[in-house]
A and B are shown apart, each in its own frame.
Chain A
Amino acid sequence: MLLVPCPNCGPRNSTDLRYGGESHARPDPNTASPAEWRAYLYLRDNPAGWLRENWYCASGCRRWFSIERNTATNEFRDPPLPGDKRGGAA
């Protein structure tokens, strides 16, 4: 059971959180071409290594946060510390 470092609740069992997938910016809905919008909807980098991704602390503080995890080893890099404000996922 992976321990996911929530900036508020501290390390929590992964089953306490909801996985939000790869972080990626939302294109401008008024100017995005179909290709850009559908790349946002569907295409993923899916690397075997470091990935910036979003988690939702569903059973804890109910905050979304963004963090880097290595998908091959499940290490978290530079986990946010309490009070860290960069928690807002993108």
Chain B
Amino acid sequence: MTMSRQGVQPTEVIDRAAKLRFRWNGKRFSGFEGDTIASALAASGEQIFSRSMKYHRPRGILTADYWDPNLMVQVGDDPNVRAGHRLLESGMDVRSQNAWPSLNRDIKAVNGLLGRFLTAGFYYKTFMRPQWLWPTYERVLATFAPGGKIDLDTPHAYHDKRYTHPDVVVAGAGPAGIEAALAASSAGASVMLVSHEHSVGGHLRYSSAAADQAALAELRTALDASDVEVLTDSTVTGRYEDNWLGIVQRNHPVAVERLIKARAKTLVAAPGLIERPYVFEGNDRPGVITSGAARRLVNLWGVKPGERAVVFSANAEGDAAVADLERVGTEIAAVIDGRTGGSISSTRGSSRAVDAVVADGASIGADLLVVAAGWTAPTSLLNMAGDRPVYDPAAARFFPSDPPSNVLATGGLAGDADLDGLRQHGAATGRLAASRAAAVRHRLQARTARALPVDGDEPAWAPDERAPLGRDPHPELYRADTHGMVDMSEDISSKDLVAAAHEGYDSVELAKRYTTATMGPSQGKLETVNTVAAIAEARGETISEVGTTVWRPPYAPVTLGALAGRMFEPVRVSSIHPWHEANNVSVIQAGQWLRPDHYGDPAAEVRNVRRNVGLIDVTPLGKLDLRGPDVPKLLSLLYVNKWMKLGVGRVRYGMMCAEDGVVLDDGVTGRLGEDHYMMSTTSSGAGGVWEWVENWLQTERPDWQVHVTPVTTAYASINVAGPKSRELMSRVCAGVDLDAEAFPYMTVRQATVAGVAGCFMWRIGFTGELSFELHAPAGHGLRVWEALMDSGSDLGVAPFGLEAQRIMRLEKGHFIVGQDTDGLTLGPSTGTGSLIKLDKDDFAGKPELAWAADRSLPLVVAIQPDDPDVVPEEAAQIVRGDTNEILGRITSSRYSPTLNRSICLGQVEPDLAAGGTKVTVLLESGERIGATVIDHHAHFDPAGERLRG
């Protein structure tokens, strides 16, 4: 085969005035604007574009379009680029993939000689012994992995996605698709027309017939004048529930690729047909091309595909290819007509010769063999909508059977007709799609409570009264009397498939998995029907009996960059955060929140709180504002303890359990007024508890009068802790008596702080010190914080972070839900079992908590290592002596700067929970150390005198 550029063709899409230079495997080449990479190379006489995966056979142009399995190349850092589709750009660095050391001399081609041993699935049957050699075999096999190379320095491409809600999306812009789009638009629908190709027109683009060109011009003019949005070089990649469509746009001016998500009211599938290769010996040699490839090369890019051709034609497209070839001066050595029993057995010849051997054994000298053997119906979008296509042997292809009523097929997918017939069917389909879309739109609006009211009744669901397209008879041509390649990208021959079927892999799916046929980059678009045919032949059944595989999304591959788009993961910070950043903070990620972990020395922060006064920003603490007469009943239902008698101004600690008795959350709730409460939750539990509260209120107790407002971020929360905290607070607070008797432990007061009205504060103490947890309207949080810092410099006020707080809470033995408890920790296991009031009528988890009293459960206990300088890791296991029997684990551990020793919380088996019990802790280093369970959770100030002060 020798391809070359010819004179100007009336239908060509190249601009011969715009020459583009590029590199191919390091050598300089040139082409024209409008060329694909492959057409430019072909015009320059290149015939080998890749090497096959297994046998490293040379491969040339087959279909000259997106689906051509032989035209996968690397362009810069972009692997697996479809050279049959990607437009040439100036300066492109194009390289072949899968060849070593070079495309023309490939050492692995020696595998071709071993073909009889490397049958499909051969690797399952060998390399079992010796087992230790398998990793080596594996590395060798992996070198056969096809495809391009990843450049790990490729920048993360952030590209925004687009959301759209058109009435009608038309997938495919051939004559039927364009007519459907125009008709739907005329009927008042908003329409998006999606063309996989670089320009609309489908097969008319590369037809030299005057009538076709006139029709194409007319359709393009009509489209330009219409309201239809036309996307080119874009593909509807998937149809998901309720016509949710993925569309990839490859020619976006900014994004490498852009993902469009469309909620179409109706979808029109008009993808046309894909030409199917024919299976015979040597069918994968460079120089064997489809009739569509011949027509595209000639008519779109002015490339003569060869000097002397044999054409095997079973349809009008093949006949048209003959005319196209003759026009550019290719000598037609023979036309073999597949409709009258003619066939091709094999090809012969060396280098550029592609002699065709016909049925009687005669050989016809040629350098090009053009094959027009039939069609594959790309039923992909219909499949994804749940349709099961049906095979028609008379037409030798699959047809839609019963797609859902908001998905309509037209064009070649639906049947055959002359151009007028296709256009009429397309237009009728467009009208039907618009009518049904109007009904869907009406229904959506009517079902939305806050939407504008809709006029009139829902339009009737229009019946499908389209005159169906015909089905042209076509011979069933799948394989000649010889074996050849079925799957070019996977190097799977019909012989492999027959052997697999005989071996028992005789359903399509089994054969596909065993041989890997259809698993490559074209995903069956060229191979599926030939695969099915080979299996049917092996089984002695018809194609209908064997059935076909399911087409899975995406229809065309989509880059991870387009799918990822931009990551929307908010970073949450408190209104005080700027102060932390200005003061040398180390932050820690806590879910979406960034929180102060420490300001340099957590131990010093602890000492300062214990000695003077410290401030910590605890804004992420969950806060729910609860109002209404039934709040006490709600609290009693959700917490395990009692709430009916909480007085105004009082605060109480509560623990929540799920219905299975597992600890869910904890925190304090205070009563701010007669019918007004504030609930606090753990920081990580804030969202979950809110939904939990709403669930109970809405589904179990809808008659209760409680209004819930999440106010977590409405308040900036500051814990002021330490023996000098009262003195500090007295300097900034107004309108509140801070005296110990007037504002005792476990009460709540409202106040004006640093001039900020509407603050409330409760006297609680997670740190174990006298402390005031202050909640100020978030907008004033920074002001309040700065006022506290400024007013307390003589008191030694200093900020402290999460780490210091964790140390102090551990010194006090307060457990953290989710750290000291886990997904199976029942309420009584926390060691605060006395909190659980089983005499309440009802509360979440009550039965399980009642039964738990009789069960032997692990318990949360405080533990001190015998060596005060050893801090066991959080996760260190508690084991029985020198054995590996697990009896518990350390859940929290720190070195206490207050006690100058290591301290822990842990979960242990109940028989180890008594104070004074000696346990063995296995450190991560493997060392086993002794430790002692102490008889209360608090390592420090167990009587709680400091915090009550």
> Do any CB atoms of chain A lie under 8 A from CB atoms of chain B in the complex?
yes
CB–CB A1/B447 < 8 A: no
In the complex, chain A residues whose CB is within 8 Å of the CB of B445: 10
In the complex, chain B residues whose CB is within 8 Å of the CB of A20: 695
Closest to A73 in B: B386
Bound CA span A1–B343, Å: 48
Distance (Å) between the CB of B446 and the closest chain A CB?
Answer: 8
7 smallest CB-CB distances across A and B, nearest first, come from: A10-B448, A82-B449, A1-B244, A3-B242, A2-B241, A89-B699, A64-B698
In the complex, chain A residues whose CB is within 8 Å of the CB of B448: 9-11, 82
CB–CB B242/A1 < 8 A: yes
A3-B241, A29-B846 known; A10 vs B695 contact (CB < 8 Å): no
CB–CB A63/B698 < 8 A: yes
Bound CA span A9–B660, Å: 33
The residue among A37, A54, A73, A74 with the most chain B CB atoms within 10 A of its own CB is A37
A2-B241, A64-B694, A64-B698 known; A37 vs B847 contact (CB < 8 Å): yes
CB–CB B695/A64 < 8 A: yes
In the complex, chain B residues whose CB is within 8 Å of the CB of A73: 386
Bound CA span A29–B847, Å: 6
**8 Å CB contact of A30 from B242, B244, B450, B842:** B842
In the complex, chain B residues whose CB is within 8 Å of the CB of A62: 694
Question: 30 A-B contacts, Cβ less than 8 Å apart?
Answer: A1-B240, A1-B242, A1-B263, A2-B241, A2-B242, A3-B242, A3-B244, A3-B263, A5-B447, A8-B449, A9-B449, A9-B450, A10-B444, A10-B448, A10-B451, A20-B695, A26-B659, A26-B700, A29-B842, A29-B843, A30-B841, A32-B847, A40-B659, A56-B691, A64-B695, A74-B241, A81-B447, A82-B448, A82-B449, A90-B699
CB–CB A83/B699 < 8 A: no
CB–CB B700/A1 < 8 A: no
Which residues between 376 and 402 of chain B lie within 8 Å of chain A, taking CB atoms? 386
B702 within 8 A of A: yes
- Residues of B at the A interface (CB closer than 8 Å) are 240-242, 244, 263, 386, 444-451, 659-660, 691, 694-695, 698-700, 702, 841-843, 846-848, 851
**8 Å CB contact of A79 from B263, B386, B447, B841:** B447
Bound CA span A3–B702, Å: 26
Which residues between 18 and 58 of chain A lie within 8 Å of chain B, taking CB atoms? 18, 20, 26, 29-30, 32, 34, 37, 40-41, 54, 56, 58
CB–CB A83/B449 < 8 A: yes
- Residues of A at the B interface (CB closer than 8 Å) are 1-3, 5, 7-11, 18, 20, 26, 29-30, 32, 34, 37, 40-41, 54, 56, 58, 62-64, 73-74, 79, 81-83, 88-90
**8 Å CB contact of A37 from B446, B450, B694, B848:** B848
**8 Å CB contact of B449 from A7, A88, A89, A90:** A7
In the complex, chain A residues whose CB is within 8 Å of the CB of B698: 63-64, 88-89
In the complex, chain A residues whose CB is within 8 Å of the CB of B695: 20, 56, 64
Closest to A63 in B: B698
CB–CB B449/A11 < 8 A: no
Bound CA span A41–B444, Å: 36
CB–CB B241/A34 < 8 A: no
Bound CA span A18–B699, Å: 15
Bound CA span A62–B698, Å: 10
CB–CB A41/B691 < 8 A: no
Given contacts A40-B659, A81-B447, A88-B699, 7 further A-B contacts (CB under 8 A): A8-B449, A8-B450, A9-B449, A11-B447, A26-B659, A81-B446, A90-B699
Distance (Å) between the CB of A73 and the closest chain B CB?
Answer: 8
A29-B847, A56-B691 known; A10 vs B447 contact (CB < 8 Å): yes
Distance (Å) between the CB of A57 and the closest chain B CB?
Answer: 10
Bound CA span A10–B440, Å: 13
In the complex, chain A residues whose CB is within 8 Å of the CB of B450: 8-10
CB–CB B451/A1 < 8 A: no
In the complex, chain B residues whose CB is within 8 Å of the CB of A64: 694-695, 698-699
Distance (Å) between the CB of B206 and the closest chain A CB?
Answer: 37
Distance (Å) between the CB of B165 and the closest chain A CB?
Answer: 11
In the complex, chain A residues whose CB is within 8 Å of the CB of B386: 73
Closest to B449 in A: A82
Bound CA span A90–B447, Å: 22
Distance (Å) between the CB of B186 and the closest chain A CB?
Answer: 27
CB–CB A41/B659 < 8 A: yes
Bound CA span A26–B941, Å: 43
In the complex, chain B residues whose CB is within 8 Å of the CB of A82: 447-449
Distance (Å) between the CB of B463 and the closest chain A CB?
Answer: 21
The residue among A10, A63, A81 with the most chain B CB atoms within 10 A of its own CB is A10
Closest to A87 in B: B698
